[in-house]
Each structure stands twice: as structure tokens, then as C-alpha cells.
Amino acid sequence: MTAGPGWDPNVYLRHASDRSRPFVDLLARVPGEPRSIIDLGCGPGHLTDVLLARWPDATVHGVDSSAEMIEAARARADGATYEHADVVTWTPSRAVDLIVSNALFQWVPERAEVIRRLTDSVSPGGAFALQVPDNADAPSHRLLRELAAREPYAPHTASAQHVPPGPPEEYLDLFAGLGWTVDAWSTTYLHVLPGEDPVWSWVSGTGARPVLQSLPDHLRERFVAEYQAALREAYPSRPYGTVLPFRRTFAVAQR
């Protein structure tokens, strides 16, 4: 993932099962039998097992800009290799059969330029597969932006990065423009989350992270309390849990 405030692998993995499903759905559409795989924005390496289960003879190299995530990934000793680097400037040392990315490019403002550069490292017949959240208009994100724009938070949160993730058509046009065969689609998942304030638990480890870390300590607790209250109203608890609708964009392109 691109450089920015520190990531906490433990917070990110609170909802590991729900976060992993889109990755599994993405891989199901990848053609062929890649022997060399780059996992961009690999996080704590918890999805490496999914890659190796699908393609047990492949080599997997994970890349992430978070030192904390790479440290957690290396501790897994799962047979993959991992590298601390920023995807904006990183390039594979050799051609590979598959570049895969799970929830990375929504953090990259210059993603089209970065993706085009990385496609040069995909072997003939190889593939580039990515998945990004497409829920910037969801209550969780809209409420976050509205609250962050108010006083006394606004002077601190103005620089917190918000990058529109882009619809499937953006990635279809990008890869098709390179002459690749493209399969692009979107899916809305209905995550049923248990516990108290589960939507807060979800977004605090991902989408809300830049805003939260831009706030000074004396304001963060107040902001969290207001944001949690707004989320509880927007996502009411039901007898079986709290439903979090989450739309995601997918693209699988073959060279």
C-alpha cells in the first residue's frame, strides 16, 4: 500500500474473513496457471495461503509500503517472500505471470500511471487482477467526510487523503486501451457484523485511518465518539447483527 500513516495488522485483521472473500472471488476469474505472482499491497500476508492453495507450484512475492504489515507477513513463514516498498515507485525485478492487488489502488491518486507502468512487467499471456472498494458514497464514508470537515476537526483533517476508487469502466478502459482482454465487474457484499459498534471497528482499520491519524490526541477521542454515534444511526443493529453493504470493483486483464 502506498506510503502514509502507520497500519495496525491486528486492527486490520479483526474482519479478516469478510475482507478475504473479495480476494477469493477475484482469483476465481484469473486465467491460466501462473508460476510467478506479485501480490501488491499484501498487508500482513494473510491471503498468501489463498494464492498458494490455488497455485501450489507458484512463487509469491508480497509488496507493501507498511513496515508493520511486512513484519507481520514475514513472521508467518508461509513460503512467500515479502518486500517493504511503495507501489508508486516500485517495479518487479523480472517479468511475472500474475500481478494481483486486493484493496490497494483506492489509496493511489496516480493509479492509472502506476498500473500502466506495472503492466510492462507482465509476461505475454499473463494477467493483472485487482479489486478496490467502490463505496465512497456509502454512509460510512460520507459521514466521515462531513464530520471531518467541521470545526474543530477541519484544520487537522484537510490534508487527509481521499481518492475516489473508480468504477469498473475506468479499469476496463485502462486495460482495453493497452490491447488486453478485460473482465470487469462490480459486486455489493452484505456483511453481517457481530458485536458493538462493528461498522466503526471495520472502518477504523481501513477507510477512516487517514482522518483518525491526522487528529491530535485531544480531539481524536471526541471525534471517535461523534463518528460512532453517527454510524450506529446509519447502520442500526438487528437481531442477527449489523448489516454493512459494501460495493467493490473488480478487473481481471490478460495480456
Mean pLDDT of 29-52: 92
Instruction: Give 68-85 pLDDT, tens digit per residue.
Output: 989 999 998 788 999 999
Q: Looking at the domain covering 9-254, what would its CATH class be?
A: alpha beta
pLDDT at 1 over 70: no
Bond preceding residue 152 cis, omega within 30 of 0: yes
Half-sphere exposure of 85 (CA within 13 A, CB side): 16
pLDDT at 171 over 60: yes
Instruction: Give 194-246 pLDDT, tens digit per residue.
Output: 999 999 999 987 788 889 989 999 999 999 999 999 999 999 999 999 999 99
Dihedrals phi, psi of 220, to nearest 5 degrees:
-65, -45
Cα separation, 95 vs 36, whole angstroms: 9
Amino acid at 50: V
Cα separation, 187 vs 108, whole angstroms: 21
Residue 161 — very low, low, confident or very high, per pLDDT cuts 50/70/90?
Answer: low
Buried b (16+ CB within 10 A) or exposed e, 111-150: bbebbeebbebbeeebbbbbbbbbbbebbbbebbeebbee
Residue 41 — very low, low, confident or very high, per pLDDT cuts 50/70/90?
Answer: very high
Amino acid at 234: A
